[in-house]
Chains A and B, each alone.
Chain A
Amino acid sequence: MVHTTLSAPPAAPSLLHRATRLGAGLADVWADMNWIVRFTAVLGLVLVVLALAAPLIAPFDPNAQSLLSRLKPPMGLAGAKDGYLLGTDELGRDILSRCLHGLRLTLGVALLGAVIGLLLGGSLGLFAGIAGGRVDDLIMSLVDIQIAVPFTLVALLTVALLGGDLTVLIAVLGIAYWEQYARITRGEVLRLREMPFIEAARAAGASGWRIAVKHILPNLVSPLVVVFTVNISNIVLLESTLSFLGLGLRPPTATLGAMVGMGRDYLPSAPWIVAAPALLILLVTFVIQMLGDFLRDRTDVRLRER
């Protein structure tokens, strides 16, 4: 715990001071990782940098078609064309460039979607758990409805009605899994509410607000981190599903899911069209799961050495 070991900082810590603290903090985190977590952390960092820098490093315009170089295999295979590192798709677009841009969009959409779900579901769950009674009944029946109705169907309908716009997609992905956060949060709140330390805080004179912020929220972090990471992976997959069904972003915009969807017709003859984006989806979900596990253990102060 870096921020507590230092003695009381001056009112406005200098930039340098902050930077050193951040550096020390990161070094601390790195020291805590085992080799496999370090490997995934580096892999994750690479993926994020690639996604952010996609417009700069992509060799081609992801949507530029070149009908003369259709269905070229990746470099190193017979019939490959120079410059197209991962080959081309059925319209002669460079797969590497599309993958980079696709990664950028997919990561952005998944992250935003998961955050929306967390905020929506988390606050509803917190509210249901703290308020109880009718409010709880109402929110939990919404949860039941969400579970009962197949969400792909709802997503299909929404996208069909409102169109395959980026905002619509993010909104749909955001509300897809809110119920998971709501259920976990509510359950945890109900459990925590009965814990003696909450009563101890009340006895000390803490207000409801203070109890929620200071005593309940920090104890929700671990379970929510777990849901969040599982959730990001699910959203990446859901986005792929929607795009695969042709309900994602309008073509030719590249997302990883859409690329897999589009490439399926060519699977027997040009498997590389699907392979590259599919592998990226796999990597992204793997990295998120691993780092999520690590983060959960790290945020749990109880796991620290005595």
Chain B
Amino acid sequence: MTGDYKFDTLSLHAGHVPDERHGSRAVPIHQTTSYVFQNTEHAAALYNQELGGHLYTRISNPTVAVLEQRIAALEGGVAATATASGMAALSTALLVLCSQGDHIVSSSRMYGANINLLENTLTRFGITTSFIDPSDLARIEKAIQPNTKLIFGEVIGNPGLDIMDVEAVGKIAAKAGIPLMLDCTFNTPWLLKPFELGANLIIHSLTKWIGGHGVAIGGAVVDGGNFDWGQNDKFPTIAGPHYAMDGINFYEEFGPAAFTAKFRAEGMYNFGPSLSPTNAFHILQGMETLPLRMQRHMDNTAKMLEFLCAHDAVAWVRHPNLADHPGHELAKRMMPRGAGSIIVFGLKGGRDAGRIFIESVELASHLANVGDAKTLVIHPASTTHSHISAEAMIEGGLSDDMIRLSVGLEDFDDIKADFEMGFRAAAKFAKTKD
């Protein structure tokens, strides 16, 4: 090897070299809870983080580790830790970073569960959040308080598709001495590598494009290793004595991977958001084809945008690759390969027409996921975002007639024909109603 492997190669290989004894080319599923220690000294060394290795699958697992190392390699991070879901990754990361009395500055335009966690759950534990329009850089900066521990947002907001200027927000966070943590589920490392623009921590729902097949739930937090946890006194449990392991100082002992060391030692130990080895295996199968699928997702998205924008039944279409999107220029600059394969649109007949459309399409599946290889549709206001307040819905850019479309990999002519059928059904309903 005379240089570093490229993205497509890493998607297939990173994290795994066939072992000498068995030579298994595929990543083996280590379906075990525990690992036999060589002796008591070896056991103590693993518990004390003197050596790498596995001691209990709640903390780490060889199959899961391959997935983690593959994600870390694709993102250009120092380390990754996989979790049972994207929400497990986010909630654990926030609890590893924040304590009672701390504050978060967050985008107001995000996935409903992300907002709920910050707005309703963490407040019960004394952690408060200021929600800010991700495009309003001045307000983001102004919202930072002395007790603010991070800025959080989604690169491509779900479902409003607002684009966050990662570089600009990263500079605001760096100036304030706090990390920028981003949910990068919608962009995947194929479209954007946020560490290169100044983000410090990345959250993924691996269930979506990275898995791509819709058979396994999983999540991950990736550590960019580019935040200096010792630059101020904001993170005393990372850059000061921690209760674990004789008052370990993660910052001094693990340097760029200090956050990951604490996430593993406290987050995985105490909260136990572990990913199952079998789910890790399934997600790895998906990752192998991530670059191929993403290219096809982008190709079909471009065709779909052209189709929807020209269609008489469609009242409006929103996607960052459309010139009328407020984040169009930013998206073009940050994500030249395309700004993801989610499109939101509304039909001329409003919410009722949307309902009939969703119930009439046959190829597109009506379900609560995105990023599947198959085309998916849903009505966010009554489903994925139904638990957030009416005010948060408006703030988040959700309208009652919005249909969220996750463009799949089918032959585009077939998706188009399916949508035409749905539009005809919606039109017929509107006529009957009249």
Q: Do A and B bind each other?
A: no
**Which chain A residues have a beta carbon within 8 Å of chain B's beta carbons?**
none
**Which chain B residues have a beta carbon within 8 Å of chain A's beta carbons?**
none
